Amino acid sequence: MESNTISNELRSLFSLVVFPGGCFLILLGLSYEWADRKLLARFQNRIGPRWFQPFADIMKLLAKEEIVPEGVDRRLFIGLPIVALTGALTAGLYLPILGVKTTFSFPGDLIVTLYMLSLLTLCMGLAGANTLDRFSLIGATRTLTQLFSYESPFLLALLGPALFSNSWQVSEIIAHTDGHWLMLTQPLGFLVAMIALMGKLELPPFDAPEAETEIVAGVLTEYSGRGLALFRLGKGVELVIGLTLVSTLYLGGITNPLTFFLKTLALLLIIVVLQALLTRLRIDQTVGLWWRYGSLLVLLQWFFLILLQGSAI
């Protein structure tokens, strides 16, 4: 009995730290970042980075000195990247990364996943507000404004399948929607979820918070060395988790590694095409877009869902 408990504990620890959470998730995040950059480069008719480029970037950043600017709160400055990465990694605990059924699952874990993803964005906003640099302050304002605008349509769009499966638990939703592609029955929700995912990941056209030509690097302007490496890892992990979430909920669940790669890479392809096609939106245009069209579409979707639900019962 005790050895059973100990081996259970060891198994949980293993899946938390090594596979499929923790280290494996970080490596997966780096590979997806590579796939994103390589595909974008090919669409722009250029070659793109080699397969180990994101890994080399992180290694290089970890080897450099971390400069803490004068006048900032030192503990916040150093601690926020760590909290951000932790939030992103925690969000992955409840999802079927690589098709492996999660060992941690409890009712309501969909909400926890979504909040952990927002924790990353919130940490970046706080990090920008903490730094006294003017560019970081404007970047922080833009990040938080953008968070305000896409967050509610994103959450509502992802809760549509939860409504369909009558459960807030990811593993139950998977069991309910296995083979059933909600993309076809809830198209508006899928559309909103995809576009909002681009907003969450701050990919073009929603990359006003880190607009290189206006505010240098936005929130991350003053970060260097380890802090920057952790934020970038967090973004890579966020990419994987966002893709897994949307493909789990809308593309009929993930049960084995092959479907994991196929579905998430298909979604990544669509996202990269949208990145290459569209110009950056100004922050006021982003807010206008979301509060006009985004919310409207998702509310329409929910209206239909509730109607259908009511008629089914």
132 contacts another protein (rule: CB under 8 A): yes
Rounded Cα distance between 68 and 71, Å, is: 9
In sequence order, the 6+-apart residues with CB closer than 8 A to the CB of 303 are none
Minimum distance of another protein from residue 276's CB (angstroms): 5
The DSSP line for 130-178 is HS--HHHHHHHHHHHHHHHHHHHHHHHHHHHHHHHHT-S-HHHHHHHHT
281 contacts another protein (rule: CB under 8 A): yes
Q: Which stretch binds another protein (CB under 8 A): 17-25, 85-93, 271-279, 300-308?
A: 271-279
Question: Nearer to another protein by C-beta: 57 or 172?
Answer: 57
Rounded Cα distance between 248 and 22, Å, is: 20
Q: Cα–Cα distances in Å, from 297 out to 138, 149, 203, 224, 294?
A: 30, 14, 21, 40, 5
Minimum distance of another protein from residue 225's CB (angstroms): 20
Rounded Cα distance between 198 and 124, Å, is: 16
279 contacts another protein (rule: CB under 8 A): yes
266 contacts another protein (rule: CB under 8 A): no
Three-class SS of residue 69? coil
Which among 299, 288, 294 has a CA at the least distance from the CA of 196?
294
45 contacts another protein (rule: CB under 8 A): yes
265 contacts another protein (rule: CB under 8 A): no
Binding map of another protein across residues 60-89, x = CB under 8 A, - = no contact: ----------xx------------------
Please give the biggest Cα pair distance in the chain: 62
Three-class SS of residue 258? helix
238 contacts another protein (rule: CB under 8 A): no
57 contacts another protein (rule: CB under 8 A): no
* Subset of residues 133 to 162 that bind another protein, contact rule: CB under 8 A: 134-135, 137-138, 141
Residue count, binding to another protein (CB under 8 A): 37
Minimum distance of another protein from residue 228's CB (angstroms): 16
Question: Nearer to another protein by C-beta: 241 or 272?
Answer: 272
* Subset of residues 196 to 215 that bind another protein, contact rule: CB under 8 A: 204-205, 207-208, 211-215
* Subset of residues 13 to 42 that bind another protein, contact rule: CB under 8 A: 41-42
Q: Hey, what amino acid is at 17?
A: V
Minimum distance of another protein from residue 211's CB (angstroms): 7
Q: Cα–Cα distances in Å, from 153 out to 41, 146, 236, 294?
A: 30, 12, 23, 6
Which among 62, 119, 57 has a CA at the least distance from the CA of 88?
119
For 135-154, b where at least 16 C-beta lie within 10 A, e where not — what string?
A: bbbbbbbbbbbbbebbbbbb
Minimum distance of another protein from residue 266's CB (angstroms): 15
Minimum distance of another protein from residue 165's CB (angstroms): 33
**Options 82, 100, 265, 276; binder of another protein; rule CB under 8 A:** 276
Minimum distance of another protein from residue 66's CB (angstroms): 19
Binding site for another protein (CB under 8 A): 41-48, 70-71, 132, 134-135, 137-138, 141, 204-205, 207-208, 211-216, 273, 276-285
